[in-house]
Structure 1
Amino acid sequence: MLDPQTTTDKPQGAAASLLNGLTVLEAFSVARRSLLGVTEISELVGLHKSTVSRMLTGLDEAGYVQRDDDTGRYRLGLGMIGLAGPLLAELGVRRAALPHLEELTEATAETAAIAVWNGTNAIVVEQVASPHQVKHSAAIGTRYNKFASSSVRVFLAELPPEETDRLLAGRIVLQEGYRGLEDPAHQRLADVRDHGFAVNDGETTYEEYGISAPVRDYRGAVVGCITASAPRSRVQHQRSQSILRDAVLQAAERVSARLGSRPGEATPVH
């Protein structure tokens, strides 16, 4: 039986309903059966049958469970896929990227990372650090919301103009105040779309050079961003910059291929 809270300071009202609903959903993984009845779930989670029945009705309406018309029993609904989809995508991107991040670091001797977008921030989900003593790196979970960041610009470049406008006006940090749809930031994002990569040449911190390229899935949608970071002093001359750029683009292309993307396939910006 699952162990619902038994302390005297139990959540009340909406919080209690939410926790009960989650407990009911967890019963399906505990039982490891596709179809469960109200009584079975009640016994598994330690909640009264009337409470379970009420929770299941709400979860059914929301699409998180589905009632079988023939038996009256319940199974998990397709709504669970939508709920877990972003997390599954992030984990899939991370697994697909890791060997290619290792190859990128081996080829360039610089730090390689992959980030995902949560709607307002680029978040590092995997990294392979440079073997050099002097290097640029970021802990997994680091969030970036500055326009100067090459990874942030890669993600912004894929958003519809109205969404980009909203973020630049509020959640994304610009070095200077945002000037609306005529702001030069929009042209810079158009350049990222045209070239297929973004460069941070000392814009976030003077000594950092970073270059990022998008990772696409089978739909052509951007689901991640490969970035190579290095001290600017190691990439000052043109050859080092072009080598790093080509390596990042190749890594992003290989990860995209593992996720089912075809060359030249991209979701259009509306």
Structure 2
Amino acid sequence: MSATHPAPEQISMYAFPDDDDRQFAFTLARGLEILRCFLPGEVALGNKDFVERTGLSKATVSRLAYTLSELGYLRHDEAARNYRLGGGVLSMGYPLLASMRIRQIARPFMRELARQVRGSVSLGMRDQSNMVYIESCPRDQRIHALPDVGAVRPILRTAMGRAWLAAVTPQEREVALNRIRIAVPDQWQRYEAQVGQALHDYHQGGVCFSYGDLHKNGYAVATPLCTQVDAEMLVFNCAVAAQSAQGRRLIDDIAPRLVAMVSNVEIAAGLK
């Protein structure tokens, strides 16, 4: 069982379509929601955790967890009577990462910018109401990059997420925001104004900001690639420690450096 119960906004829930959508496989979707219950730092969860976090019945959770363990996506610990993520989850994601050539192309540019601004530079893509990191470079290569590849962060609370919203088409943006309004209404109520400001900032300067919205000691600026890659809008993010003059520095110094870095990545990748 999990030692602590996470805040509701930390759990990524799907906004399922209406029951009359014949193309939607609800059983498959519910099984995937079981896998999404795990959060960073949680080694094992029990059926009670799955029930609380998904709203599914005990019988449904028991059946889904058993099936997922038989397929290798969960591992059942009979002694502890709980489940751990299995190797099938990791192997399923690797082909996606390996196919993203942009990660290898961008990495040296990201490392250099991280060194220059004494911060971290990351690349991410959207996953439901979150952004998921697919590459991350810290300022010091001797220090393990945080957040790591695969980490998820809420769209509304991050510069990366706001830049994604600003870069996609109005139709894509509205679909994403509708899902967010349903899945995490508390986040929408709290950060709706910041999203509006982010859209304004992006149209004015091509970047979006976050001033301590995710971590009070961290500021960030983000900008997307000029075009989609493999049908995905990818966004670069540069985060630095918050200091008294850091907000002005983001606008005057770091934001132009990030935009220039992304332009160099686009050229190297043949995107423009």
TM-score of the two chains, using structure 1 as the length reference: 0.54
Q: What aligned pairs does 1:138-157 form with structure 2 within 5 A after superposition?
A: 138-157=147-166
Shift of 1:228: 1.1
SS at structure 2 position matched to 1:185: helix
C-alpha distance in 1, partners of 2:96/2:131? 14
Contact in 1 for aligned 2:103/2:135 (Cα 8 Å): yes
Contact in 1 for aligned 2:132/2:153 (Cα 8 Å): yes
TM-score of the two chains, using structure 2 as the length reference: 0.54
C-alpha distance in 2, partners of 1:179/1:140? 25
Which position in structure 2 is the counterpart of 1:185?
195
Shift of 1:238: 2.5
Q: Which amino acid letter does the alignment assign opposite residue 126 of structure 2? A: W
How many residues are treated as equivalent by the alignment? 177
Correspondence 1:165 to 2:174 = yes
| RMSD after superposition | 3.8
Shift of 1:218: 8.2
Q: Which amino acid letter does the alignment assign opposite residue 241 of structure 2? A: P
Which position in structure 2 is the counterpart of 1:98?
107
Q: Which amino acid letter does the alignment assign opposite residue 252 of structure 1? A: V
Contact in 2 for aligned 1:111/1:135 (Cα 8 Å): no
Shift of 1:100: 0.4
Shift of 1:209: 0.3
Query: Aligned to 1:203, which of 210, 213, 222?
Result: 213
Shift of 1:239: 3.9
Shift of 1:146: 3.1
Q: Which amino acid letter does the alignment assign opposite residue 150 of structure 1? A: A
Deviations 1:54-101 (A, max 9, x none): xxxxxxxxxxxxxxxxxxxxxxxxxxxxxxxx9379612211110101
Which structure is larger by alpha-carbon Rg, 1 or 2?
Answer: 1
C-alpha distance in 1, partners of 2:203/2:232? 12
SS at structure 1 position matched to 2:246: coil
Which position in structure 1 is the counterpart of 2:255?
245
Shift of 1:240: 5.9
